[in-house]
């Protein structure tokens, strides 16, 4: 098998340029994502506010998991 040096160098050049341009595109998309994303407003709630994903102390008159899930899908809240 005969390997042509100029042809191999062109392929190597093409692969290096492809990787470099792909990485540049990735960096640009990452910058755009940081610019587009809203500010993270999920800090610690103040006052009587409660985060929805934190566990509450279960009271006896609270709904069980199945009923809460049903109400979630029913009302969309």
Vertex 30: Cα angle to 29 and 34 (nearest 5): 115
Q: What is the pLDDT along the chain (77 residues), one digit of tens a residue?
A: 788 899 999 999 999 999 999 999 999 999 988 887 766 666 666 777 665 665 555 555 677 788 777 777 777 65
Would the pTM of this model clear 0.95, i.e. be above it? no
Q: How many helices (H) and strands (E) does the chain have?
A: 2, 0
């Amino acid at each position: 098998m005969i390997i042509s040096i100029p042809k191999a160098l062109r392929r190597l050049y093409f692969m290096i340029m492809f990787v470099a341009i792909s990485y540049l595109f990735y960096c640009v998309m990452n910058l755009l994502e940081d610019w587009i994303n809203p500010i993270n407003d999920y800090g610690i709630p103040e006052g009587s506010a409660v985060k929805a994903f934190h566990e509450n102390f279960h009271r006896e008159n609270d709904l069980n998991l199945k009923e809460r899930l049903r109400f979630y899908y029913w009302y969309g809240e």
